[in-house]
Amino acid sequence: MSASDASPGKRDYHHGNLRAALLSAGIALLDEVGWDGLSLRACAARAGVSHAAPAHHFGNKHGLLTALAAIAFRRFHDMLAAHRAAAPDEKLAKLRAAGAGYVRFAKQNPGLFRLMFGEAALNHADPEFEAARRAAYRQLGEIVAPFLPVGADEAADHRLRLLVWSSVHGYAHLLLSGQLDRMQPSDDGLSHLPDLAALVAGDGEDSGSEAAASPDPLALSPHDS
């Protein structure tokens, strides 16, 4: 039986693509049975290998979760980008679309969303994870950039990113955690995003807080933004 004939799991000691198969299994389990149903053994069973096989590829459960979180950030990034691309070429519309994409991702992928934002201790030093996270954060900068006045300093950029991100993330997370259950399922929580952005970007008088310009949290060079 040639290698091309063998299906995954039929080979005994060399799956050939087990790391990817285990990650696919993890995504599927999060989707089908949720957070509590995700385990190393369940992923191994779904991939057709023994319970100890994942250890070779991920080290331990945290390693698997970190790799899954990297995938999640990439999918998240892609959904944001797709929503922004589909919106009319006008900054308010782009901002609304980005917010809608954020919330839509959270609703469609609650397990991945929880993984991304703190359900488990992740290996933040993992380069794939960091790269995926950084790409998603970069989009945040792109989203708010049109609202900043020409010549705005780094502190203003940070404040705007923080305010927009807090607002959208807070809304998405409150939705997921069931705190808004009896409110109507709409994007009311996002309707003020444009005003929010304009509020912060246009408010040059708010310098009472003497926050020093902080370095970019993900250490992006200027041309990366």
Partner DNA sequence: TAGATGATCTTGACGTCGTCAAGATTGGGC
Partner DNA sequence: GCCCAATCTTGACGACGTCAAGATCATCTA
Asked if residue 182 binds DNA (CB under 7 A), the reply is no
Residue type, 137: Y
Contact flags string 109-148 toward a copy of itself, x per CB under 8 A: -----x-xxxx-x--x------------------------
- Residue 7 binds which entry of a copy of itself, DNA, none, CB below 5-8 Å type-dependent: none
* Residues 137 and 67: beta-carbon distance below 8 Å: no
Asked if residue 49 binds DNA (CB under 7 A), the reply is yes
* Residues 109 and 158: beta-carbon distance below 8 Å: no
Residue type, 89: D
- Residue 40 binds which entry of DNA, a copy of itself, none, CB below 5-8 Å type-dependent: DNA
Question: What are the C-alpha distances in Å from 72 to residues 30, 69, 138, 148, 175?
Answer: 11, 5, 16, 29, 19
Q: Whole-angstrom Cα distance, residue 140 to residue 137?
A: 5
Contact flags string 8-37 toward DNA, x per CB under 7 A: ---xxxxxx-xx------------------
Q: Which residues contribute to the site for DNA (CB under 7 A)?
A: 3, 11-16, 18-19, 39-42, 44, 49-53, 55-57, 60-62
